[in-house]
């Protein structure tokens, strides 16, 4: 494997991990506040659709992004009302959101654009373009570091940089601010927050709203950054992978960066080597496709150990029964 290949694989891994990272951080806020979210997939899908739809109509990806966030937030609101206000089962609410998004996106797409659920393809300014960082072209000729800067670090969509910046930001919010302290507390023991005179409901809604925003970014990146429009079911299970990455990361931001990178990397490797020729036998492409999942299981079994979720996670906060 030469240097250029490594750069290419890493570059691909970065693009592939970005939606996972955004969704994973989204889930992190929600679950840290004690609301389990298996509806990440649905929110991303809805965001992908609404961002692509609005970007297609207006030709402006930023308006698309706003719409994406709006779409995802609408589903987040449903999740909140069901699982916080009415103390419903968080998992069921998440399942419902996934179905809802899967149906509604196509229904609306068909109604607005008549393309069987697709949105028209975005062209030129309608998408988030790749940003060339300053001096990327001049530095490209510097050995190793220059290549890394120019080909790996530079040249991504703005949302990629946002996603990476969100990791330290999330860490900082969680562990250095009042809001973060309360958020973590409410996910561990809501009664402690309640008896301190802080509203459990408000905190959890805030967390869910942030989750909605981040899923919005993830969806918008899929539809208006990585591709040029919406195709039905285009999230293709990434919400579930993000959830797995979140558990993998034991609900910690830096670890989330690592775990989503791992998923991105494994997928990039499988993409690059569709059938691995290992001398005697050739590993069939099906197994290269499944490789990221197999390796995840192995890593999980071998190195990660028990992941303990936020203690109050999954349970609605009920004072009086």
Partner 1 sequence: DPALIFDLGGKFDKSFNEAAYNGAQRWTEETGGSYKELEMQSEAQREQALRRLAETGANPIVMTGFAFGNTLEEVAPDYPETKFVIIDAVVEQPNVKSIMFAEQEGSFLVGVLAAMASESKTVGFIGGMDVPLIRQFGCGYAQGVKHQEADAKILANMTGTTPAAWNDPVKGGELTKAQISQGADVVYAAAGGTGIGVLQAAADADILSIGVDSNQNHLHPGKVLTSMVKRVDNAVYDAFTAGENLETGAQVLGLAEGGVGYALDDNNKDLITEEMKTRVDEVSQQIQSGEIEVHDYYSDNTCPALSF
Partner 2 sequence: MDKMPKWADVILTPLISLILAMAISALVILAIGESPWMALKTMVTGALGSSYGWGFTLYYTTNFIFTGLAVAVAYHASLFNIGGEGQAMIGGLGVALICLALPWPHWGVALPAAMIGAALFGAAWAFIPAILQAKRGSHIVITTIMFNFIAAALLNYMLVNIMRPQGSQDPATARFPAGAHLPQLSEMAAMIGIEWGKNTPVNITFFIALIACVLVWLLIWRTRLGYEIRALGRSEPAALYAGISPVRITVIAMLISGGLAGLMAINNVMGEAERLVLNAVEGAGFIGIAVALMGRNHPFGVLLAALLFGFLYQGGGELALWTTIPRELIVVIQALVILFTGALDNMVRMPLERIFLALRKKGRA
Partner 3 sequence: MTDKAKRPETASSPAIELRGISKSFGPVQANKNISFKVARGTVHGIIGENGAGKSTLMSILYGFYKPDSGEILVNGQPLNVTDSLTAIRAGIGMVFQHFKLVQNFTVLENIILGVEDGKLLRPSLAKARGVLKQLAAEYQLNVDPDETIEELSVGHQQRVEILKALYRQADILILDEPTGVLTPAEADHLFRILEGLKAEGKTIILITHKLREIMEITDNVSVMRRGEMVASVKTSETSPEQLAELMVGRKVLLNVKKSPAKPAQPVLEVRDLQLADDEGVQRLRNVSFDIHAGEIFGIAGVSGNGQTQLLELLGGYPEKGSTITGSIRMNGQELDLTGTRSDAATRRARGIGHIPEDRQSEGLIMDFAAWENSAFGYHHAAQYNSGLFMNNNAIQQDAQEKMERFDIRPRDPHLAARNFSGGNQQKIVVAREIERNPDLLLVGQPTRGVDIGAIEFIHKRIIELRDAGKAILLVSVELDEILALSDRIAVMFDGRIMGERLPSETTTGELGLLMAGVTDTERHDASEGIPPEAKHVQELPDEQAGGAG
Ligand X SMILES: Nc1ncnc2c1ncn2[C@@H]1O[C@H](COP(=O)(O)OP(=O)(O)OP(=O)(O)O)[C@@H](O)[C@H]1O
Binding residues for partner 2, total number by CB under 8 A: 49
Among 95, 254, 244, CA closest to 169: 254
Q: Are 174 and 180 in contact (CB under 8 A)?
A: yes
Phi, psi angle pair for 315, to nearest 5°: -105, 130
Residue 190 C-beta: closest distance to ligand X, Å: 14
Query: Should residue 199 be labelled a site residue for partner 3 when binding is judged by CB under 8 A?
Result: yes
Query: Should residue 307 be labelled a site residue for partner 3 when binding is judged by CB under 8 A?
Result: no
Query: Should residue 305 be labelled a site residue for partner 3 when binding is judged by CB under 8 A?
Result: no
Which residue's structure tokens are 């990272």? 21
Query: Should residue 182 be labelled a site residue for partner 3 when binding is judged by CB under 8 A?
Result: yes
* CA–CA distance, 121 with 110 (Å, rounded to integer): 14
* CA–CA distance, 202 with 36 (Å, rounded to integer): 16
Q: Are 236 and 64 in contact (CB under 8 A)?
A: no
Phi, psi angle pair for 246, to nearest 5°: -65, -45
Which one, 87 or 140, has the nearer CB to partner 2?
87
Residue 176 C-beta: closest distance to partner 1, Å: 34
Query: Should residue 312 be labelled a site residue for partner 2 when binding is judged by CB under 8 A?
Result: no
Residue 122 C-beta: closest distance to partner 2, Å: 22
Tokens describing residue 304: 């990660």
Query: Should residue 53 be labelled a site residue for partner 2 when binding is judged by CB under 8 A?
Result: no
The conformation of residue 34, written as its DSSP 8-state character, comes to: T
Report the sign of the C-alpha dihedral through residues 258, 263, 267, 273, in that order: positive
Query: Should residue 321 be labelled a site residue for ligand X when binding is judged by CB under 6 A?
Result: yes
User: Which residue among 1, 134, 143, 319 contacts partner 3 (CB under 8 A)?
Assistant: 319
Instruction: List C-alpha distances in Å: 220 to 19, 79, 234, 309.
Output: 9, 20, 12, 28
Total count of residues recorded for the chain? 321
Stretch that binds partner 1, among 78-86, 113-121, 244-252, 255-263 (CB under 8 A): 113-121
Query: Should residue 140 be labelled a site residue for partner 3 when binding is judged by CB under 8 A?
Result: no
Which one, 91 or 152, has the nearer CB to partner 2?
91
Query: Should residue 320 be labelled a site residue for ligand X when binding is judged by CB under 6 A?
Result: yes
Stretch that binds partner 3, among 30-38, 156-164, 193-201, 226-234 (CB under 8 A): 193-201
The conformation of residue 122, written as its DSSP 8-state character, comes to: P
Q: Which residues bind partner 1 (CB under 8 A)?
A: 4-5, 8-9, 11-12, 15-16, 19, 115-118, 121, 222, 226-229, 231-234, 236-237, 267-268, 271-272, 274-275, 282, 284-286, 289-290
Name the site residues for ligand X (rule: CB under 6 A).
320-321
């Amino acid at each position: 494997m030469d240097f250029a290949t490594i750069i290419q694989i890493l570059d691909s891994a970065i693009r592939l991990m970005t939606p996972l990272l955004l969704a994973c951080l989204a889930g992190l806020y929600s679950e840290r506040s004690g609301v389990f979210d298996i509806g990440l997939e649905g929110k991303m899908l809805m965001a992908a659709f609404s961002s692509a739809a609005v970007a297609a109509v207006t030709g402006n990806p930023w308006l698309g992004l706003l719409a994406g966030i709006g779409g995802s937030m609408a589903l987040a609101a449903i999740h909140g009302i069901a699982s916080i206000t009415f103390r419903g089962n968080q998992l069921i609410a998440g399942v419902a959101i996934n179905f809802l998004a899967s149906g509604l996106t196509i229904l609306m797409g068909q109604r607005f654009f008549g393309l069987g659920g697709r949105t028209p393809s975005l062209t030129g300014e309608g998408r988030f373009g790749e940003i060339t960082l300053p001096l990327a072209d001049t530095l490209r000729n510097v050995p190793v570091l220059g290549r890394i800067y120019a080909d790996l670090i530079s040249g991504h969509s703005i949302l990629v940089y946002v996603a990476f910046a969100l990791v330290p930001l999330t860490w900082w919010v969680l562990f250095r601010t009042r809001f973060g302290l309360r958020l973590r507390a409410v996910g561990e023991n809501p009664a402690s927050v309640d008896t301190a005179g802080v509203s459990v409901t408000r905190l959890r809604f805030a967390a869910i709203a942030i989750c909605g925003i981040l899923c919005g970014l993830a969806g918008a990146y899929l539809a208006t950054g990585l591709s040029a429009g919406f195709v039905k079911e285009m999230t293709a299970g990434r919400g579930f992978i993000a959830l797995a990455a979140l558990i993998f990361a034991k609900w910690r931001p830096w670890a989330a960066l690592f775990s989503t990178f791992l998923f991105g990397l494994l997928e990039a490797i499988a993409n690059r080597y569709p059938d691995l020729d290992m001398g005697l036998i050739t590993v069939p492409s099906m197994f290269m496709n499944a490789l990221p999942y197999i390796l995840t299981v192995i890593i999980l079994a071998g190195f990660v150990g028990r992941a303990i979720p936020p203690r109050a996670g999954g349970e609605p906060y009920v004072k009086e029964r």
